A and B are shown apart, each in its own frame.
Chain A
Amino acid sequence: MKNELNAQAVSAMMQAVSLHVIANTDALTDADLAIGDGDHGIGMRRGFEAVLQQLSDWEPESPEAVMKQSGMAIMSKTGGAAGAVFGTVFRSGSKALAGVATIDAASLGDFLSDGCAAAAKRGGAAPGQKTMLDALAPAAEAARKHAPDGLYAALDAAHASAVNGLEKTRAMVATTGKARSLGERSIGHIDPGALSICLIIEAMRDFAKTT
């Protein structure tokens, strides 16, 4: 376990994240079919395939560049609301990493937190509306709180909070996005975007554990 990731390690982590999201395409499709139009899985796959393509054979100069380019790739290839929101998390979140040579637990918490705030602003949404924010906001908060415990511990806590947030979306009524027209009928289903957040942070945590 390392407590600091340089640009190359962050790139390797984002490639692991991409592979994990792509491997879960069907789970994301099924989650979206229950509550939306069923395109979340293939959209996220398109976006993270673009991240893989961007990061392979590229020598990044900084962790900020890795996250920014990942965000650009997601935003240009995913499409839909997911492309705008997930692209914004990485692109805007990357600004929190300006000037740092390595990511540690504290800067990772800042990245998640700033990315979350930017995504909320872009989507005009807040936690509690059954969106990806319901997993990302608690994850960012947990990462910051557990920053003194080291990178793996912070990501492990972030993941646990994201999963807890994901489960809470089950009881929520969707009040934004395509699912809002379901109203009460959206109760009982998890939010597919929140599931994507869990997968992303899960892969980050597993990377931190084995590095």
Chain B
Amino acid sequence: MAAKKILNDPRNVVSEMIEGLVLANDGRVRKLDGVDAIVRTDLPAGKVALLIGGGSGHEPVFHGFVGANMADGAACGQVFAAPSPEIVYEAAKAVHRGNGIVFLYGNYAGDNMNFDIASEMLEDDGIDVRTIRVRDDVAAAPPERMDDRRGVAGDLYMIKIVGGAATELTDIDEVERVARKAEAAIRSIGVAVSPGSIPETGKLTFELGEDEIEVGMGAHGEAGVSRQKLAPADDVADQLADALLRDLPFHGGDEVALLINNLGATTMMEMLIVNRRIRQILADRNISVHRSDVGTYLTVQEMAGFSITLMKLDAELKHFLDLPCDSFGFKQP
């Protein structure tokens, strides 16, 4: 049975979504002609550019995070599919202000290849491109295989920090340094309760039994670490927290940012109950929470479930994380 969604022609979901997104930005972003990419309308000259992107269907990631002190532009792929080199290249040209471009995206084979091809094209044009791949999903691979880890909800904090750095710092080397530090300090893990579906096929991306959950499932239904029986919120939170804390590892005395992300269809009530438990665990371990964000940042269509992200902070990361910002998907006064 096809999933129930209110759509027009499912083949047009991405272009129609972009049109709606641009309008929801009230003039602060524009769509490029003939290309599925959006860019800020008020880009300062000489700024180090930040271009993000990836498959659509994860709104507000990525294209919802274009704005002041966030990304300068986003290359939008089709649902769950990386944008083509052409889209990335055109978006990059549109955001470039003569001071180099930082590419920031999730570490997936498709994104890596398409952004790399675009990067080679830009280098042929003499443009300096630096690539940062978000690899925060601890469930995807053990720490010794970081390159096999995917990018998930940590994208938000990465875009926030690198967006701030690319606004305040004028040297692309410095922006890259901050980005690499942030990327090394962030860890996430999720749990899926029920699947989402791709609009064009109407088919669920995986199957999960009535009373089953999958810990560590990826943002496209990639298999996680374990499929298990539905359990109380505190037990699930304990399990996720344990996997996160021992991975970096996080220690007593650390200061962190905590992000609890709705994968699409989970209630805010459930998320807050999980937040309550995570805060108890962090307090017990003497880990202080500098800031917390509980909301919907990276979705997988109507997938139910949530993810938890922890980022270890220092003064510099705190500074960039706390800068005011203004984008459709995340605003900070």
A residues touching B (Cβ–Cβ < 8 Å)? 29, 33, 36-39, 41-43, 46, 75-85, 122-123, 176-183, 185
- In the complex, the answer to whether B221 meets A37 with C-beta atoms within 8 Å is yes
A-B pairs, 4 with minimum CB distance: A80-B81, A81-B110, A84-B113, A37-B220
The stretch among B61-69, B97-105, B197-205, B285-293 that forms the contact with chain A is: B197-205
- In the complex, the answer to whether B78 meets A46 with C-beta atoms within 8 Å is yes
Give every chain A residue within 8 A of B114 (Cβ-Cβ): 79-80, 83-84
| Cβ proximity bits B55-94 to A, threshold 8 Å, 1 near / 0 not | 1000000000000000000000111111111110000000
B26 contacts the other chain (Cβ, under 8 Å)?
Answer: no
A75 to B80, CA, bound (A): 16
14 pairs across A/B with beta carbons < 8 Å?
A37-B205, A37-B220, A38-B201, A39-B80, A39-B81, A41-B201, A75-B84, A78-B84, A80-B78, A80-B80, A81-B82, A81-B113, A181-B222, A183-B223
Write the nearest CB–CB distance from A136 to chain B, whole angstroms.
Answer: 16
B residues touching A (Cβ–Cβ < 8 Å)? 55, 77-87, 108-110, 113-114, 116-117, 140, 148, 150, 198, 200-201, 203, 205, 218, 220-224
Give every chain B residue within 8 A of A178 (Cβ-Cβ): 108-109, 218, 220, 222
- In the complex, the answer to whether A80 meets B222 with C-beta atoms within 8 Å is no
- In the complex, the answer to whether A185 meets B223 with C-beta atoms within 8 Å is yes
A43 to B81, CA, bound (A): 8
A81 to B116, CA, bound (A): 12
A39 to B300, CA, bound (A): 14
Give every chain A residue within 8 A of B78 (Cβ-Cβ): 39, 42-43, 46, 79-80
A75 to B207, CA, bound (A): 31
A33-B203, A185-B223 are contacts. A76–B86 as well, Cβ < 8 Å?
Answer: yes
Residue of B nearest to A175 (CB): B148
Residue of A nearest to B89 (CB): A76
Give every chain B residue within 8 A of A183 (Cβ-Cβ): 223
Instruction: Point out the residue from B85, B150, B221, B223 that lies within 8 Å of A75, measured CB to CB.
Output: B85
Extra 20 A-B pairs, beta carbons < 8 Å, given A37-B221, A81-B108: A29-B201, A37-B80, A38-B205, A39-B80, A39-B201, A41-B201, A46-B78, A78-B84, A79-B78, A79-B81, A79-B84, A79-B114, A80-B55, A80-B81, A81-B113, A82-B110, A84-B114, A85-B113, A178-B218, A181-B224
A77 to B83, CA, bound (A): 9
Write the nearest CB–CB distance from A125 to chain B, whole angstroms.
Answer: 9
Residue of A nearest to B78 (CB): A79
Give every chain B residue within 8 A of A36 (Cβ-Cβ): 220
Give every chain B residue within 8 A of A46 (Cβ-Cβ): 78
Residue of B nearest to A84 (CB): B113
Residue of B nearest to A46 (CB): B78
- In the complex, the answer to whether B205 meets A33 with C-beta atoms within 8 Å is yes
A39-B80, A182-B222 are contacts. A122–B86 as well, Cβ < 8 Å?
Answer: no
Write the nearest CB–CB distance from A41 to chain B, whole angstroms.
Answer: 7
Give every chain A residue within 8 A of B198 (Cβ-Cβ): 37-39, 42
- In the complex, the answer to whether A77 meets B84 with C-beta atoms within 8 Å is yes
- In the complex, the answer to whether A81 meets B79 with C-beta atoms within 8 Å is no
Q: Which of A77, A81, A84 has the most CB of B within 10 A?
A: A84
Instruction: Point out the residue from A33, A38, A75, A177 that lies within 8 Å of B117, measured CB to CB.
Output: A75
A42 to B110, CA, bound (A): 15
Give every chain A residue within 8 A of B201 (Cβ-Cβ): 29, 33, 38-39, 41-42
A38-B201, A43-B78 are contacts. A177–B84 as well, Cβ < 8 Å?
Answer: no
Give every chain A residue within 8 A of B113 (Cβ-Cβ): 81, 84-85, 122-123
Write the nearest CB–CB distance from B233 to chain A, whole angstroms.
Answer: 25
Write the nearest CB–CB distance from A83 to chain B, whole angstroms.
Answer: 5
Give every chain A residue within 8 A of B82 (Cβ-Cβ): 79-81, 83-84
Give every chain A residue within 8 A of B116 (Cβ-Cβ): 122
Give every chain A residue within 8 A of B221 (Cβ-Cβ): 37
Instruction: Point out the residue from B85, B150, B200 that lies within 8 Å of A76, measured CB to CB.
Output: B85
A79 to B57, CA, bound (A): 14
A37-B221, A79-B84, A185-B223 are contacts. A177–B109 as well, Cβ < 8 Å?
Answer: yes
Give every chain A residue within 8 A of B223 (Cβ-Cβ): 181-183, 185
- In the complex, the answer to whether B83 meets A79 with C-beta atoms within 8 Å is yes
Give every chain A residue within 8 A of B77 (Cβ-Cβ): 79-80
Give every chain A residue within 8 A of B150 (Cβ-Cβ): 181
Residue of A nearest to B77 (CB): A79
- In the complex, the answer to whether B220 meets A84 with C-beta atoms within 8 Å is no
